[in-house]
Amino acid sequence: MKVDDTLDQIVALNDIIEKDTRVMKTYEESFTEIKEDLQVLKTRQQQLIFDVAKWAICEGVAGPNDDLPVFEPSAFIFAMCDLLDSHDNRLPEHDGTWH
């Protein structure tokens, strides 16, 4: 193999490595942005859950003995649905008594 051919191959490989390095850097930057956005969304979601839990307690839908899984969004939604259903079933009758 000629020296010139070997040098051309090394240069070509170096170009590929440089290009891939730039692509990887772009991916890393995008990944960092996505992680930051995800953290913002998680924080916003957690605040909304706390706000709904606070509302439920203030409105009498949830009480101090109700275990609200505020750190598990899916479980929280199911718990709130159960509490709301149970609360709706305790609405006063026309004569003022609770059922």
Percent of the chain with pLDDT over 90: 69
Does the structure show a pLDDT above 70 at 35? yes
pTM surpassing 0.75? no
What mean pLDDT value characterizes the chain? 89
Does 23 have pLDDT greater than 60? yes
Angle, helices 3-58/73-88, rounded to nearest 10 degrees = 20
Q: How far apart are CA 15 and CA 7, in angstroms?
A: 12
pLDDT tens readout for residues 48-71: 999 999 999 998 899 888 889 999
Q: Which two tokens stand for residue 11?
A: 């240069």
From residue 26, alpha-carbon distances to 29, 64, 65, 91 in Å are 5, 49, 50, 58
DSSP state of 96: S
> For residue 56, what are its two tokens?
């439920």
Which pLDDT belongs to residue 1?
Answer: 63
